[in-house]
Amino acid sequence: QYFDKAAALTNIPVDMLNYYKKTDCVIKFHLPLVRDDGTVECIPAFRAQHKTHKLPTKGGTRLSEHIHTEEVEALSLLMTFKNAVLELPYGGAKGGLKINPKKYSKREIESLMRRFTIELAKRNFIGAAIDVPGPDLGTGEREMSWMKDEYTKFAGHLDINAQGCVTGKAISQGGISGRTESTGLGVFYGCREILEDYEFCTQAGIPAGLRGKNIIIQGYGAVGYYAAKYMCAYGAKLVGVAEWDGSIYEENGIDPDELQAFKEQRKGVKGFPKASEYHEDESVIYKECDIFIPAAFEQTVNRANAPKFNCKVIAEAANGPTTLAAEEILIKKGVKFLPDILLNAGGVTVSYLQWLQNLDHIRPGRMTRRWEETSKYKLLEAIQISTGLRVDVTKNQQAAKLLEGPSAKDLVFTGLEESMAVAVQNTKETASKLNISLRMAGYYNALMTIHQHVDTAGLR
């Protein structure tokens, strides 16, 4: 539906729009799993490649009992558009297995992920130049490391870039510093950039800037936690969190790190001692706040519950958390949206940097860090000679820190910040020029980018 609305704003021929909407290829197969009790279960598995106009395709692999063919096709389309908005050289893809990971043991999940990788490889659906899965709902660096290991065993002798077959894996397996934080950090960068816009904030009925804003988050996994961590460090205040086991609220603010430590120990947020359990009106997500951040499932905000929300801004950290019907209801209430096509792109952006690291076979900064540090010391020495002033860096830790060369994580974070800032600026310019929402501007820019590429390359 968002595609159709954005398409109507373009001058792209209808037949080409129909092509851009269709999924190039989607596969479904069943994986036999021997459970810990000896029984055999057949697990449905999916992978969709929405568009292969650019290769490889890129998108997450999720473990969810709600996954189905239509969902992976829709999410792969969103990935194509997200990649285009961030100017990444990928087509879009998405896949996963139809299970609830909480009901399976570590051995069972490992067996499934390894078998899934082999089945993808046999169908030529995985590889650094073909299709590069990453983490998603229910998966993380553990699962990606298993996939990388299995693919390397299967095809490593034929593919020198085999470790680039997936992203989001552990650093010891070719991962990159900062990938775990990247989606949440991207949410922070996007919110910070957009909320500096006076006109946007005036329309939302809030003062400009992220500082001082009350936020409520639905879903406190890696995305929700890191979004809260960086936003609170910048001056925002986390007042509510909704998780699978309940909701908590504290008007004076919740410390993101303390809550994360509690959640890791208790596997939920219920009982967190520095906040109250919230029982009114079903969930804390309907409590009045400046910014609501859905960071878990699709269609969290829908036609049925849209009238209950009392936020000023919805910052979409999850994939597709708002239905079109819900958006139309909330826009009439004056709610502004920071769309997923833009805000949720931090993960795939850092995955791109990780993929480049795997192709280069060298971590970012290895060839330049010492050179930059030496150059800074020489510059400091020249300044001291010309001014007669001395700075003893052995006694001044702040000065010593400034003289250090950038670490791999420094380069990753600044690369992500630049990518998000440019994407936000491009989206805002289109929104202003065409007098449309940020979401429509993101889809419009993506469509025009894809069409320009296909039109130039040709279809034959």
Output the 3-class SS for 241-267: EEECCEEEECCCCCCHHHHHHHHHHHC
Place of tokens 């990453």: 134
Same domain, 152 and 268: no
Burial call 293-305: b when 16+ CB within 10 Å, e when fewer: bbbbebebbbeeb
Can you give the pTM of this predicted structure? 0.89
CATH code, domain carrying 64: 3.40.50.10860
458 is written with which tokens?
């040709």
Same domain, 336 and 312: yes
Say how many domains are in the chain.
2
Distance CA 178, CA 169 (A): 11
**From residue 241, how far is each of 134, 244, 295, 388, 427 by CA, in Å?**
26, 10, 10, 55, 29
Same domain, 156 and 251: no
Place of tokens 């005036």: 202
**From residue 73, how far is each of 343, 344, 380, 448 by CA, in Å?**
20, 18, 55, 21
- State yes or no: is 94 an active-site residue: yes
Catalytic hit among 28, 51, 54, 94: 94
Same domain, 76 and 116: yes
Where do the H-state alpha helices sit in 25-94?
69-85
Same domain, 119 and 190: no
**From residue 64, how far is each of 46, 236, 241, 383 by CA, in Å?**
11, 32, 22, 59
> What is residue 257's predicted lDDT score, i.e. its pLDDT?
96
58 is in an annotated binding site: yes
Contact between 151 and 130 under an 8 Å Cβ cutoff? The reply is no
Contact between 336 and 200 under an 8 Å Cβ cutoff? The reply is yes
Beta bridge mates, 95: 47, 61
Please identify, among 346, 371, 396, the residue that sits at the C-terminal boundary of a domain.
346
Please identify, among 173, 207, 225, the residue that sits at the C-terminal boundary of a domain.
173
Assigned domain for 23 exists: no
Same domain, 141 and 242: no
Assigned domain for 368 exists: no
Contact between 356 and 400 under an 8 Å Cβ cutoff? The reply is no
41 is written with which tokens?
């279960």
Nearest by Cα to 444 from 250, 224, 436: 436
DSSP code of residue 394: T
Assigned domain for 440 exists: no
Same domain, 150 and 255: no
Nearest by Cα to 50 from 15, 88, 92, 78: 92
Same domain, 227 and 310: yes
Please identify, among 294, 316, 346, the residue that sits at the C-terminal boundary of a domain.
346
Q: Which residues contact 78 (CB under 8 A, 6 or more apart)?
A: 92, 94, 319, 320, 340, 341
- Angle of helix 346-360 versus helix 179-194 axis, rounded to 10: 130
Assigned domain for 247 exists: yes
401 is written with which tokens?
């820190």
Beta bridge mates, 93: 49
376 is in an annotated binding site: no
322 is in an annotated binding site: no
CATH code, domain carrying 330: 3.40.50.720
> What is residue 395's predicted lDDT score, i.e. its pLDDT?
77
Same domain, 167 and 261: no
Distance CA 306, CA 301 (A): 6
Nearest 5°: the CA angle 446, 421, 51 is 25
Distance CA 22, CA 7 (A): 14
344 is written with which tokens?
């949720």
Low-confidence ranges of the chain (pLDDT < 50): none
Backbone angles phi, psi at 33, to 5 degrees: -125, 125
Assigned domain for 5 exists: no
Where do the H-state alpha helices sit in 156-255?
179-194, 198-204, 222-234
395 is in an annotated binding site: no
Same domain, 159 and 221: no
Assigned domain for 266 exists: yes
Compute how many other C-beta atoms are within 10 angstroms of the C-beta atom of residue 421. 14
Same domain, 135 and 223: no
Nearest by Cα to 321 from 358, 295, 343, 345: 295
What's the N-to-C CA distance of the chain in angstroms?
29
Assigned domain for 140 exists: yes
Nearest by Cα to 188 from 12, 447, 421, 436: 421
Strands lying side by side in the sheet with 25-34: 25-34, 40-49, 91-97, 57-63, 131-135
Assigned domain for 77 exists: yes
Same domain, 160 and 194: no
Where do the H-state alpha helices sit in 138-178?
141-155
Residue ranges making up the domain that contains 317: 182-346
